[in-house]
Amino acid sequence: MGNAIDLAIFAALLLAGLCSGRAVEWAHYRRLRFRETRLRDILIFCEGRVPADMRVRQSALVVGEVVIAEDYFKRATATLQKLVGGRLTAYETLLDRGRREAIVRMKTEARRLGADMVFNVRFATTTIGGDSGGGRGMFSAAFVAYGTALAREPAP
């Protein structure tokens, strides 16, 4: 009887953790969509050269940084997926959220500076922590989006 109660408590905690992790992820996606919509007028370009006919009033380096950590349920899902192969969708959402959040933060800084576009946008991603051979470390990914924010001169 005691083992059944322990198992039920474990299952309840597991389900609660899974549901709360999903809720946090969905809430982050909702906030991202809202912020992306508010910032859609700030254009971003990978191109390094500004068009020759563009008159620039101000330019500045802008950076957006974020660190996103996995949760235990993403790790468990990914571990099971690795057994059978295929896409690790649990980590794909983590990477998607991190990349989009870094872009939003970069655009937010550009807006604060009065810019309406960012040129020469680049991304950097790195892992923090993770497995150090013992299999106990948590995976976190750091995302950086950076570029040159430009505020154009008003048209004559």
| Domain of residue 113, CATH code | 3.30.110.70
In this prediction, residue 118 carries a pLDDT of 96
4 CB neighbour count, 10 Å cutoff = 8
Kindly report the pTM of this predicted structure.
0.81
- Judged against a pLDDT cut of 60, whether residue 134 lies above it is answered with no
pLDDT digits (tens, 9 = 90+) for 14-43: 777 777 778 888 999 999 999 999 999 999
Structural domain boundaries, residue 130: 2-152
Number of domains in the chain: 1
Q: Contact, 57 vs 153, CB < 8 A?
A: yes
Inter-helix orientation angle 2-38/72-84, to 10°: 100
